[in-house]
Amino acid sequence: MRIGELASRVGTTTRTLRYYESRGLLPARRDGHGHRTYDEGDVRLLEQIRTLQDFGFDLEETRPFVECLRSGHPAGDSCPASVAVYRRKLAELDALMEELGAVRAQVGAQLERAERALVELAADADAPGGPEPLCELAVRTERRGG
């Protein structure tokens, strides 16, 4: 099949396919007229790349999976190099989740503090010059000079 048909089948553009070719991820086979030609194996390679990218892998991280398929393995993740990429990606995701958990805890604490301040404000609504809620995030920004 030609590049346009391949692009259509896998839901991408010919420009993207040429880029993958320039990066060595897609083979550059040509017919007698100089046209790029592709087969079902190339469809599998591209489906593997797209699936991994949908999961957050960058293009270079897909290389071991592509090479595994090219070497004749039934799946792109049936090679040690692919498994190593999975391990690195999981460690990266675990670190991000830990970081997000810490941010969530901070936002939750701010929410609790703000809700308490609103309750106090409502209780003192009739008193002139009653307490105003303090936005801790604004105070932190002012302290940093922002």
- pLDDT averaged over the chain? 88
pLDDT for 120 beyond 90: no
Model pLDDT, residue 107: 96
Model pLDDT, residue 127: 59
Prediction pTM value: 0.69
114-134 mean pLDDT: 72
Amino acid letter for position 71:
S
pLDDT in tens, 34-62: 999 999 999 999 999 999 999 999 999 99
118-140 mean pLDDT: 65
Domain chopping of the chain, boundaries:
43-144
Which tokens in the block code for residue 85? 């990429």
pLDDT for 132 beyond 80: no
Give percent above pLDDT 70 in the chain. 85
